[in-house]
Chains A and B, each alone.
Chain A
Amino acid sequence: MRQSVKTIAIMLAAILVTLGLSESAGAGVISTEAAIEMQERSARIQRINSVLARDSVQSQMIRLGVQPDVAAARIASLSDSELQQLEARMDELPAGADSALTVLGIVLLVLLVLELVGVTDVFKSF
């Protein structure tokens, strides 16, 4: 089966499985999310086999300390485009943590100046 067909088939199958329907003999249906991607002129549709993407993201989550069964549940809630974002950049995406200062030394001095003139907002009482 060609990649594009597999993608549609998986998307359609996913919908059908969710709703417990049997497959129809129709021409296949292109998901709204895929349509948005096309409309925004991204010439690639989601060629990534979403099954592979799920496996990859799940492994990465486990490596980052998430329990396997929990990881599986978290994957299930993600949309296809969110899966893609995570697959490519899980190690680099911003991880919102807290407002604690994490830099030291000379960088601290620079930050102090920046804080005073309103560029940064790391310190509480200013």
Chain B
Amino acid sequence: MKMLRCTAGIAVATVLCGCATDPFRDLTSRSVPEAIELDRTPFFPQQEYQCGPAALATVLVASGVSVHPDELTPKIYLPERQGSLQPELLAASREHGRIPYVIPPEFPALLAEVSRGRPVLVLQNLGVKLAPTWHYAVVVGFSVERREVILRSGTDERRVTRAGVFANTWRRGGNWGVVALAPGELPATDDSAGYLRAIAAAEAAGRAELSEPSYAAAVKRWPDSSLAWLGLGNSAYARGEPAAAEQMYRRALKADSENAVVLNNLASAVADLGRCSEARELLLTATDLPDLHAPVRELLRQSQTELDACQ
């Protein structure tokens, strides 16, 4: 009887153990240290259901902002959901002068940010898919040799978790991790798309003081990114500087000459500077581009109509 039970136990364990992974296994980068712990990261022991405010305050303070979880609770906590939602965590970061950059959903990206000295706020599902227990925690360190990840989590200042276990809980949260970047601070990986997405969200939320220096840093780091130059151009345009905007849009076109959005916005800037026929030409070039999506075509058509007013 005893042996049967034991065997059954092992069988079950074997089946289930197949789920436990070794996220360090494929690590090739030598820029990641063997072990690191950001022990100066502050600790805010969470109150009931308040892991969102606690975790967010942790990464914000680590990035140089002065804030306490109690100030964040009214900005992100939803009483009836007894928790905080990811989009609101991002919005609240911007309120405090930081760009919330969502890292690529991969373990190496997480390690790269921590190695750069930046703790990462993560969403974990500590339960299972059908009965989730959502939780926010902050990764402050790891050890490759011991296969461990170190977190500020809940009421644990130092929660040391086996890397495979962490990877499972993180994966069930969609491998979602966020780093608080100061304006102009670049991510640890070569993730221009994710970084620009983060800046564009700040721009869309009206935070030019965050987005402008960040677009400026982005064009230095990725001078061939038409999107980065577009962002810089849009920032200049929004400041009421069509001449500066024109320069940026032309740089964007140099990187991508068949970009309908850039052509549209350049037409706008040029029209504002009184060069109406040139603006019309630009829009014609845009409408002649192959493979335009219907919505873009619609926008261009509208822009052309509005240009009728240009003398």
Partner of A79, one of B17, B80, B168, B202: B202
Q: Does B164 contact A (CB under 8 A)?
A: yes
Partner of A98, one of B51, B92, B165, B272: B51
A90 and B85 within 8 A (CB)? yes
Q: B28-36, B58-66, B112-120, B129-137: which lies at the A interface? A: B129-137
Interfacial chain A residues near B13, Cβ < 8 Å? 116-117
Contact with B along A22-48 (1 / 0, CB 8 A): 001111111111111011000111010
B204 and A33 within 8 A (CB)? yes
Q: Does B267 contact A (CB under 8 A)?
A: yes
Q: Does B123 contact A (CB under 8 A)?
A: yes
Q: Which of B94, B126, B169, B307 has the most chain A CB within a 10 Å cutoff?
A: B126
**Closest approach, in angstroms, between the C-beta of B155 and any C-beta of chain A?**
9
> Within the assembled complex, what's the spacing in Å between the Cα atoms of A82 and B178?
15
**Number of A positions contacting B (CB below 8 A):** 72
B78 and A66 within 8 A (CB)? yes
Interface of B is mostly: helix
B16 and A119 within 8 A (CB)? yes
> Within the assembled complex, what's the spacing in Å between the Cα atoms of A61 and B161?
35
Interfacial chain B residues near A11, Cβ < 8 Å? 204
Q: Does B258 contact A (CB under 8 A)?
A: no
Interfacial chain B residues near A34, Cβ < 8 Å? 261
Interfacial chain A residues near B156, Cβ < 8 Å? 124
B19 and A119 within 8 A (CB)? yes
B51 and A96 within 8 A (CB)? yes
**Closest approach, in angstroms, between the C-beta of A63 and any C-beta of chain B?**
7
Contact A25/B78 with A43-B295, A120-B168 known, Cβ cut-off 8 Å: no
A82 and B133 within 8 A (CB)? no
Interfacial chain A residues near B306, Cβ < 8 Å? 25-28
B299 and A4 within 8 A (CB)? yes
Q: Does A52 contact B (CB under 8 A)?
A: no
Contact A25/B272 with A121-B165, A124-B156 known, Cβ cut-off 8 Å: yes
Q: Does A53 contact B (CB under 8 A)?
A: no
Smallest CB gap from A47: residue in B: B295
Smallest CB gap from A57: residue in B: B87
Contact A28/B201 with A36-B227, A39-B227 known, Cβ cut-off 8 Å: no
**Closest approach, in angstroms, between the C-beta of B298 and any C-beta of chain A?**
5
**Closest approach, in angstroms, between the C-beta of B169 and any C-beta of chain A?**
5
Q: Does B158 contact A (CB under 8 A)?
A: no
Interfacial chain B residues near A16, Cβ < 8 Å? 238
Q: Which residues of A contact B (CB under 8 A)?
A: 2, 4-5, 8, 11, 14-16, 18-19, 21, 24-36, 38-39, 43-45, 47, 61, 63-66, 70, 73-74, 77-83, 85-86, 90-91, 93-103, 107, 111, 113-114, 116-122, 124
Interchain Cβ contacts under 8 Å between A and B, 5 examples: A26-B271, A28-B299, A33-B201, A78-B88, A94-B173
Q: Which residues of B contact A (CB under 8 A)?
A: 12-13, 16-17, 19-20, 46, 48-52, 55, 74-76, 78-88, 90-92, 94-95, 123-128, 131-136, 153-154, 156, 161-162, 164-166, 168-169, 173, 196-197, 199-206, 208, 227, 230-231, 234, 237-240, 242, 261, 264-265, 267-269, 271-272, 279, 283, 293-296, 298-299, 302-304, 306-307, 309-310
